[in-house]
Amino acid sequence: GAVVSQHPSWVICKSGTSVKIECRSLDFQATTMFWYRQFPKQSLMLMATSNEGSKATYEQGVEKDKFLINHASLTLSTLTVTSAHPEDSSFYICSARQGIPQHFGDGTRLSIL
């Protein structure tokens, strides 16, 4: 089946640093990629939708300057959390699709000290 690889799986860094998370579709070309955020014991909240070669569409309340999304190719999207602070600590999950259904990565746990 379709595989989405997300890296890294866990990252711990100091407040003020920027963190990049990669999402790759390994065996299909993803026309659309999605980034979700999940706080403990809560559901997944969609942050943004990106199509290859175009700017990402952010959901209401998500700061586009804080969460930079690049979808440079049909197999790679990156999420960069800029100047991360403790409140950005969360579980981030990417998803990719060519049609239906969406396929999900294993998530990245981000901890900001």
Partner 1 sequence: KQEVTQIPAALSVPEGENLVLNCSFTDSAIYNLQWFRQDPGKGLTSLLLIQSSQREQTSGRLNASLDKSSGRSTLYIAASQPGDSATYLCAVIYYGGATNKLIFGTGTLLAVQP
Among the listed ranges 18-26, 37-45, 62-70, 82-90, the one in contact with partner 1 (CB under 8 A) is 37-45
Amino acid at 103: H
Would you count residue 44 as binding partner 1 (CB under 8 A)? Answer: yes
Annotate each residue in 71-100 with x if it binds partner 1 (CB under 8 A) or - if it does not, as one string: --------------------x-x-x----x
Among the listed ranges 22-30, 41-49, 70-78, 79-87, the one in contact with partner 1 (CB under 8 A) is 41-49
Structure tokens at 21: 């998370």
Residues whose CB is less than 8 angstroms from the CB of residue 7 and which lie 6 or more positions away in sequence, other chains included: 21, 22, 24, 108
CA-to-CA separations, 29 to 23, 24, 94, 97, 110, in angstroms, rounded? 12, 9, 15, 8, 27
Would you count residue 27 as binding partner 1 (CB under 8 A)? Answer: no
Give the residue from 59, 18, 14 showing the smallest Cα distance to 37: 59
Would you count residue 53 as binding partner 1 (CB under 8 A)? Answer: no
- Sites of contact with partner 1 (CB under 8 A): 6, 32, 34, 36, 41-46, 49, 51, 57, 91, 93, 95, 100-107, 109
